[in-house]
């Protein structure tokens, strides 16, 4: 048995290995071309009579566990990911005419999930161990969301996000203007998780639950992180960015999906990335915030023309990061000035 499964494992790896090479792709291309010639006219011919319902095509029996509510099964985890980032931005689908919009967008970091829980969902024990609070942003939470999400049923998570499930929540009318990190008596409200029942529709919350349950990644599959000290004075170091990824395939993904907007080597381009007033190349970004790059590429950069980029598989994401980790191929912006 063991021998069999090992052989199978290697077979799968071999298949993907070939997929990345040119020859297998060309063969696939031919097969596809033949299929188009034969199948498309046939489809057009019968097209009017045969109603193809994409919703019933997969025959997957509904997916998820039998316990999952229907709202969860049909939710959209990619939309949920964009909400986790910056739900009130243009283009996310959030209703900007609702009463909460002004309050939320005026004090964004007090409402964005990512500010309190981190892009890596590890709160103040992960990559945000050094993200100190300011007058305009609260403390990063000590909750390990990644661990918590694995332990809770979808329904329970929904209620936790919507109403707190017993934990206290900050109301929309809380005064955030007095928040001062130097004076701990002022920070309790700002650090508290907001009451999202005042802000989100149920459908929007289900999208976030879907994101948390189905899209989260154990970030140690993408890189290693070492932390030292404690929040907010800790430090973090990334190594093995892209792990055992294939940099050559990462270069192809970058050339096909990113170079048009960010330049061939990630410096400048049509849409230079500016972070705290400093231009940051895509390579520098990947080396300093690999977890955030994963999120932006997978779920898009809300409020900009960068939508979800369709780099969905773990192996493609590793390949992309592996390529971007190379500072000769993708230099820092100041290295070329
Ligand atoms: C201002 C900071 C802040 C924001 C913004 C915030 N949270 Fe939280 N969150 C917390 C804190 C603090 C806790 C731990 C205490 C608690 O459960 O209320 C928490 C707890 C949680 C928990 C329960 C974890 C546990 O161990 O009980 C979940 C799930 C969660 N947050 C998800 C989210 C999501 C999703 C968003 C965005 C829609 C979000 N949070 C936005 C601060 C925040
Ligand atoms: C259609 C154009 C477009 C494409 C394609 C695109 N981006 Fe972007 N990207 C943008 C824009 C616009 C921004 C926002 C720049 C800003 O204002 O800081 C951005 C921002 C980013 C950021 C920074 C996010 C932040 O927090 O500031 C990263 C990292 C990034 N892109 C990486 C990539 C990668 C990697 C790819 C390919 C997989 C890619 N982008 C594809 C347009 C694009």
pLDDT in tens, 122-133: 999 999 999 999
Ligand 1 atom having least distance to the Cα of 167? 18
Confidence category of residue 217, pLDDT binned at 50, 70, 90? confident
- What are the pocket residues of ligand 1 if the criterion is a CB atom closer than 6 Å to any ligand atom? 110-113, 115-117, 138, 141, 143, 145, 148, 157, 160-161, 167, 191, 193-194, 196, 208
Total number of residues shown for the chain: 337
Q: What's the mean pLDDT in 281-296?
A: 97
- Spatial CA neighbour of 115 closest among 190, 44, 56, 29: 190
State both tokens at 326: 């190379």
Q: Which ligand is nearest to the CA of 255?
A: 2
What mean pLDDT, rounded, does the chain reach? 85
User: Is pLDDT above 80 for 10?
Assistant: no
Q: How confident is the model at residue 2 (pLDDT cuts 50, 70, 90)?
A: very low
* C-alpha dihedral sign at 65, 69, 74, 76: negative
Tokens of 99: 């009463």
Name the residue of 304, 311, 332 whose CB sits within 8 Å of the most ligand 2 atoms, as the mutation to test its pocket.
304
Pocket test for ligand 1, best of 75, 88, 110, 117 (most atoms within 8 A of CB): 117
| Nearest CA owner, ligand 2 atom 7 | 306
Which pLDDT score, from 0 to 100, does residue 96 have? 97
Structure confidence at residue 110 (pLDDT) = 98
Centroid of chain to Cα 312: 10
User: 151 burial class (0-12, 13-18, 19+ CB within 10 angstroms)?
Assistant: exposed
d(Cα 74, Cα 207) in Å, to the nearest integer? 9
Nearest CA to ligand 2 atom 18: 273
- Minimum CA distance residue for ligand 1 atom 34: 113
- pLDDT digit string (tens) for 42-86? 444 333 333 333 333 333 344 455 578 999 999 999 999 999 999
Question: Which pLDDT value is given to residue 275?
Answer: 85
Q: Alpha-carbon torsion 207, 210, 212, 215, what sign?
A: negative
Beta carbons of 323 and 247 less than 8 angstroms apart: yes
Lowest mean pLDDT among 41-45, 57-61, 98-102, 160-164: 57-61
Q: Binning pLDDT at 50, 70 and 90, where does residue 160 land? A: very high
Ligand 1 pocket test, candidate residues 148, 193, 200, most atoms within 8 A of CB: 193
Q: What are the Cα distances from residue 301, in Å, to 81, 137, 173, 294, 309?
A: 10, 20, 28, 11, 10
């Amino acid at each position: 048995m063991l021998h069999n499964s090992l052989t199978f494992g290697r077979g799968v790896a071999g298949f993907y290995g070939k997929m990345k090479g040119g020859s297998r792709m060309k063969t696939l291309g031919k097969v596809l071309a033949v299929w188009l010639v034969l199948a498309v006219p046939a489809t057009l011919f019968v097209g009017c009579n045969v109603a193809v319902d994409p919703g019933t095509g997969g025959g997957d029996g509904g997916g998820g566990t039998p316990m999952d509510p229907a709202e969860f099964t049909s939710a959209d985890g990619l939309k949920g990911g964009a909400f986790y980032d910056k739900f009130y931005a243009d283009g996310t689908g959030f209703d900007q005419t609702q009463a909460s919009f002004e309050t939320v967008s005026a004090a964004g970091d007090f409402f964005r999930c990512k500010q309190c829980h981190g892009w890596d969902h590890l709160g103040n024990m992960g990559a945000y161990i050094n993200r100190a609070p300011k007058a305009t942003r609260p403390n990063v939470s000590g909750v390990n969301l990644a661990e918590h999400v694995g332990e809770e049923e979808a329904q329970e998570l929904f209620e936790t996000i919507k109403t707190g499930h017993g934990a206290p929540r900050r109301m929309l009318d809380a005064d955030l203007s007095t928040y001062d990190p130097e004076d701990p008596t002022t920070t309790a409200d700002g650090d508290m998780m907001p009451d999202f029942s005042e802000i989100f529709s149920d459908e929007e919350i289900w999208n976030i639950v879907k994101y948390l349950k189905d899209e989260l990644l154990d970030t140690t599959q993408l890189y290693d992180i070492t932390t030292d000290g404690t929040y907010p004075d800790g430090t973090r170091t990334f190594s093995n960015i892209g792990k055992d990824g294939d940099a050559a395939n990462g270069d192809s993904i970058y050339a096909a999906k990113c170079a048009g907007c960010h330049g061939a080597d990630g410096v400048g381009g049509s849409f230079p990335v500016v972070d705290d007033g400093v231009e940051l190349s895509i390579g520098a970004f990947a080396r300093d915030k690999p977890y955030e790059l994963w999120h932006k590429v997978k779920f898009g950069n809300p409020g900009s023309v960068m939508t979800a980029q369709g780099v969905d598989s773990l192996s493609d994401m590793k390949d992309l990061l592996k390529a971007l980790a190379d500072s000769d191929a993708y230099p820092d912006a100041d290295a070329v000035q």
